[in-house]
C-alpha cells in the first residue's frame, strides 16, 4: 500500500489542520497575555527619558500558591534591584615606589532613597573610608561622598552625583506581621555577586539589640539569607516596598537563618536627620543607666519598688541639674511608667531637645518628683 493512499492522506490532513489551529490559538493567547502583563505592569517599570530618576512602583500580585510567590519575587528583583547599589570602601595611601595606591577595606550594599543621589547604608560599611566607590545596576561606577553617620544605629548616608537613578519606595514597618514574605537584596560577596536575591519570611519583630553604649533598638528578624556583604541592602515586602535595611547577621552553632534588619520607619527618621544635620539629634536625660530593677534586686536591697531603672546622673548633665542623685530609680517619665531601660530610652527619644519633662524617681523607698530640661545626646 502506498504511503500516499487517499485514506491516509485524509487522516494526515485532518491532523495537520488540528495542529495548525493549536499553534494559532497559542500565538493569539500569547499576545493577549503579553498585553495583559504590560497593562498590569508585570514586565517591569515603564521606560523613562534618559537622565531622569524613577521610583519603584508598588507591586500588586495575588497572594496565592507557589506560582504567584515566585512571580512576586521575580518582579521585586526586576523593579527594586536597580535601587540597590554596591559600595566599596577604599583605603588610599602613598607608596614611595608606586605612588598613590588603593586597597579595598570592605564592601557592602546601599539603597537609593532619593533622586538627588542619596543612599542609605550601614555605618560599618563606610566607616574610616578614604574613598567610596558606588556600583550601580547599569554598570556605572561613581564616587560617593559621606553625608552623615549614626554609629549608634549602624546607619549612614552617602551621596552620588548621577542621573537616571531608580529610587526605592519605603513601606510602613509597623504594619509587618510574623510570617509575611520578606526578600533580601544585596551584595553578599561584593560586586561579583551584586544584587543577589534571597527569599524568606518575617521570623520575628521587635527583637532587642543592646549597643555598647547601653542603648536598645528593636529589629526585624528574618530567615532570608543575609551575609556580611548584604549589610546596607534592602529587606523588601511582597509589594516591593523597603521595610528594613539589612544590618546584622547572627550566626550561632545550631542556629541558621537568623538575619536582622533595621525597621524602615526608624531608618526614615534617622536618614532625615543625617541629610539635614549631618548627624542624628537625640534628646538626653543625662544619666548612666546602671541596670534594670527587678524583684530580686528590690527584695535584696529593700528598694521599695521592683521595677524601673537604677541610674547615675552625669556631672553637670540635665538630670544632675534637676536634682537627680546616684542610685535613684526612674519609674515614670511624662506620666508613662518606666519598667526597664528600653522604656526610659523610648520615652526620652520621643521628646525633643529642650523639652521639659516630669520625672518620678524612687529614693530611699520614697517617690520624688523632678522636672528635667532635656539636653542633646552626645554623638
Q: Are residues 274 and 290 in the same domain?
A: no
Domain end among 224, 249, 280: 280
Q: Of the spans 59-63, 69-73, 89-93, 173-177, which averages the highest pLDDT?
A: 173-177
Using alpha carbons, list the distances in angstroms from residue 242 to 22, 59, 116, 306, 330: 44, 12, 18, 41, 37
The helix/strand/coil state of 264 is helix
Strands 166-167 and 54-55: parallel
Region of 182 please: left (phi>0), alpha (psi -120 to 50) or beta.
beta
| Nearest alpha carbon to residue 286 among 152, 377, 150, 151 | 377
C-alpha cell at 40: 498590569
Domain contains 20:
no
With a cut of 80, say whether residue 191 has pLDDT above it. no
Which residue(s) pair with 158 in the sheet? 119, 146
Task: Look up the CATH number of the domain holding residue 358.
Answer: 2.30.42.10
Q: In this structure, is residue 25 part of a structural domain? A: no
Q: Which of 246, 264, 280 is the last residue of a domain?
A: 280
**Cell numbers that stand for 248 in this block:** 546584622
CB 258 within 8 A of CB 252: yes
How much is the pLDDT for 342?
86
286's grid cell: 543625662
Q: Of the residues 88, 106, 154, 203, which is catalytic?
A: 154
Q: Are residues 256 and 294 in the same domain?
A: no
| Dist CA 78 CA 63 (whole Å) | 18
Q: 124 an active-site residue?
A: yes
Cβ atoms of 71 and 61 within 8 Å: the answer is yes
- Of the candidates 231, 237, 264, 292, the residue annotated as catalytic is 231
Query: pTM of the full predicted structure?
Result: 0.72
Q: Domain count of the chain? A: 2
270 and 344 share one domain: no
pLDDT top residue among 211 and 61: 211
**CA distances to 225, 230, 231 from 124, in Å:** 19, 12, 9
- Judge if 259 and 210 occupy the same domain: yes
Q: Is the model's pLDDT at 247 over the cut of 80?
A: yes
Residue 13 lies in a domain: no
In a domain, 30, yes or no: no
66 within 8 A of 171, measured Cβ to Cβ: no
The pLDDT value recorded for residue 26 is 44
358 and 217 in a common domain: no
- Assess if residue 1 is contained within a domain: no
Domain end call among 248, 280, 312: 280
Mean pLDDT of the region 64-78: 68
- The pLDDT value recorded for residue 2 is 33
pLDDT of residue 67: 42
Q: Tell me the pLDDT band of 177, cut-offs 50, 70 and 90.
A: very high
In a domain, 26, yes or no: no
Q: Is 38 contained in some domain?
A: no
The mean pLDDT of 314-334, rounded to a whole number, is: 96
For residues 201-211, one letter each, b for 16 or more C-beta atoms within 10 angstroms of the residue's C-beta and e for the rest, the string is: bbbebebebee
- Note whether residue 299 is domain-resident: yes
Q: CA 283: distance to chain centroid? A: 23
Same domain, 127 and 167: yes
| CATH code: domain of residue 193 | 2.40.10.120
Q: 232 and 358: one domain? A: no
Domain enclosing residue 197, as ranges: 54-280
Q: Which of 88, 106, 109, 124 is catalytic?
A: 124
Show the cell assigned to 222. 528574618
- pLDDT at res. 189: 57
Confidence band, pLDDT 50/70/90 cuts, at residue 252: very low
Per-residue cell: 4: 500516499
Q: What is the pLDDT of residues 196-244, one digit of tens each?
A: 888 999 999 988 776 655 556 789 999 888 877 778 999 999 999 999 9
Torsion of CA 321, 326, 332, 334, to 10 degrees: 10
The residue ranking higher by pLDDT, 127 or 369, is 369
Residues 211 and 72 in one domain: yes
Highest mean pLDDT among 79-93, 220-234, 297-311: 297-311
Residues 311 and 166 in one domain: no
Q: What is the DSSP letter of 226?
A: -
* 154 among known catalytic residues: yes
pLDDT of residue 146: 95
Amino acid at each position: 500500500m502506498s504511503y500516499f493512499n487517499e485514506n491516509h492522506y485524509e487522516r494526515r490532513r485532518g491532523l495537520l489542520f488540528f495542529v495548525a489551529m493549536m499553534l494559532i490559538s497559542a500565538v493569539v493567547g500569547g499576545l493577549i497575555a503579553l498585553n495583559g502583563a504590560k497593562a498590569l505592569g508585570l514586565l517591569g517599570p515603564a521606560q523613562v527619558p534618559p537622565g531622569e530618576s524613577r521610583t519603584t512602583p508598588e507591586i500588586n500580585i495575588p497572594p496565592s500558591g507557589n506560582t504567584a510567590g515566585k512571580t512576586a519575587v521575580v518582579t521585586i528583583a526586576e523593579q527594586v534591584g536597580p535601587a540597590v547599589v554596591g559600595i566599596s570602601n577604599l583605603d588610599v595611601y602613598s607608596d614611595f615606589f608606586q605612588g598613590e595606591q588603593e586597597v579595598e577595606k570592605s564592601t557592602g550594599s546601599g539603597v537609593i532613597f532619593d533622586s538627588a543621589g542619596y543612599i542609605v547604608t550601614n555605618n560599618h560599611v563606610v566607616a574610616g573610608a578614604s574613598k567610596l566607590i558606588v556600583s550601580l545596576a547599569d554598570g556605572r561606577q561613581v564616587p560617593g561622598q559621606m553625608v552623615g553617620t549614626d554609629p549608634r544605629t549602624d546607619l549612614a548616608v552617602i551621596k552620588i552625583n548621577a542621573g537616571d537613578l531608580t529610587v526605592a519606595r519605603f513601606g510602613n514597618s509597623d504594619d509587618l506581621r510574623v510570617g509575611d514574605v520578606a526578600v533580601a537584596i544585596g551584595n553578599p560577596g561584593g560586586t561579583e555577586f551584586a544584587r543577589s536575591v534571597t527569599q524568606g519570611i518575617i521570623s520575628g519583630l521587635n527583637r532587642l539589640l543592646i549597643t555598647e553604649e547601653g542603648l536598645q533598638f528593636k529589629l526585624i528578624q528574618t530567615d532570608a539569607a543575609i551575609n556580611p556583604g548584604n549589610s546596607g541592602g534592602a529587606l523588601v515586602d511582597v509589594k516591593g516596598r523597603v521595610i528594613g535595611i539589612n544590618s546584622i547577621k547572627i550566626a550561632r552553632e545550631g542556629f541558621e537563618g537568623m538575619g536582622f534588619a533595621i525597621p524602615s520607619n526608624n531608618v526614615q527618621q534617622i536618614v532625615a536627620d543625617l541629610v539635614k544635620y549631618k548627624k542624628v539629634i537625640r534628646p538626653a536625660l543625662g544619666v548612666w543607666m546602671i541596670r534594670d530593677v527587678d524583684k530580686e534586686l528590690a527584695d535584696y536591697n529593700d528598694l521599695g519598688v521592683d521595677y524601673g531603672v537604677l541610674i547615675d546622673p552625669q556631672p553637670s548633665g540635665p538630670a544632675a541639674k534637676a536634682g537627680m542623685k546616684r542610685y535613684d530609680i526612674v519609674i515614670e517619665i511624662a506620666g508613662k511608667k518606666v519598667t526597664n531601660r528600653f522604656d526610659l530610652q523610648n520615652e526620652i527619644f520621643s521628646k525633643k531637645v529642650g523639652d521639659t519633662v516630669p520625672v518620678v524617681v524612687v529614693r530611699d523607698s520614697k517617690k520624688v518628683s523632678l522636672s528635667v530640661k532635656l539636653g542633646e545626646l552626645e554623638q
